[in-house]
Amino acid sequence: MDVLEAIKTRRSVGLVSDKPVPQELLEQILEAGTWAPCHHRTEPWRFFVLTGEGRKPLGEVLAKIAEKDMDDPSSETNQKKLAKRLKKPFRAPAVIVVAAEPTDDPKVIAKEEYGAVYSSIQNMLLTAHSLNLGGFWRTGKPTYDPLMKDLFGLPEDGEVLGFLYIGFPEKEVPAGARKHFNDVTKWISTEDGLKGKM
Ligand SMILES: Cc1cc2nc3c(=O)[nH]c(=O)nc-3n(C[C@H](O)[C@H](O)[C@H](O)COP(=O)(O)O)c2cc1C
């Protein structure tokens, strides 16, 4: 599959089967993740591959985080909500947790470390797609909760940046749609070309 075709046909695939993803396919995805650009060659990405019962602690921490905002976690409604959180990581046979561990090198700009990890995520989603796997980048507020950081043993300035749910698609996802690039682009070919709004 050519790169532009892969980019344009990749979709967020929410519905995947329970069929385990072979280790060698997961390894290809992870390898692609390590080939993202990174300023000063810091390679700030960290990956945690959760499969089988290895997904359970993620559900437990999602429930624990949700519980913090509940007045009465034992109420029937809240118990149902917590049970849903416990199940979330089981929506796909493999969940790749992608985190950033920024270097403490003072010449490195912290947000560029995050940028590198976001590029790594896109590499992984495109590779999953090229392997006929479905991928879904999920986040949400709990992603950035200190308890999440603790679960994965990240340092204080580290952060989980995404959960990549990977599996074999259960059904085809419709084609995507985007604005035309000219709607978000200004072509500058004269000195005063930047005057005025986009
Ligand atoms: C940083 C980031 C976080 C995301 N988190 C979620 C999420 O928590 N839940 C969700 O349904 N989609 C999430 N998405 C996926 C987007 O909803 C999806 O990419 C968008 O709808 C476009 O669809 P496509 O990926 O099929 O092109 C996230 C995407 C990004 C870039």
* Closest by CA position to 32, among listed 126, 171, 160, 96: 126
Q: If you measure from the C-alpha of residue 12 to the centroid of ligand 1, how many angstroms do you get, rounded to a whole number?
A: 7
Dihedral (CA of 190, 192, 194, 198) sign: negative
- How is residue 14 written in tokens? 């929410």
Dihedral (CA of 168, 100, 30, 26) sign: negative
Q: In degrees rounded to 5, what are phi and psi of residue 94?
A: -135, 135
Domain CATH for 79: 3.40.109.10
The answer to the question of residue 132 being in a domain is yes
Q: If you measure from the C-alpha of residue 103 to the centroid of ligand 1, how many angstroms do you get, rounded to a whole number?
A: 27
The answer to the question of residue 194 being in a domain is no
* Closest by CA position to 62, among listed 88, 100, 97, 90: 88
The answer to the question of residue 196 being in a domain is no
Task: Answer for the pair 162, 143: CB distance below 8 angstroms, yes or no.
Answer: yes
- How is residue 167 written in tokens? 């599996």
Residues spanned by the domain of 51: 3-184
Q: If you measure from the C-alpha of residue 11 to the centroid of ligand 1, how many angstroms do you get, rounded to a whole number?
A: 9
Strand partners, 48: 97
The answer to the question of residue 191 being in a domain is no
Residues having CB closer than 6 A to ligand 1 are 11-12, 137-140, 176
**What is the ipTM score, two decimals?**
0.98
Q: In degrees rounded to 5, what are phi and psi of residue 137?
A: -85, 115
Structural domain tally of the chain? 1
Q: One digit per residue, pLDDT tens: the chain, 198 residues? A: 899 999 999 999 999 999 999 999 999 999 999 999 999 999 999 999 999 999 999 999 999 999 999 999 999 999 999 999 999 999 999 999 999 999 999 999 999 999 999 999 999 999 999 999 999 999 999 999 999 999 999 999 999 999 999 999 999 899 999 999 999 999 999 999 888 655
pTM of the model: 0.96
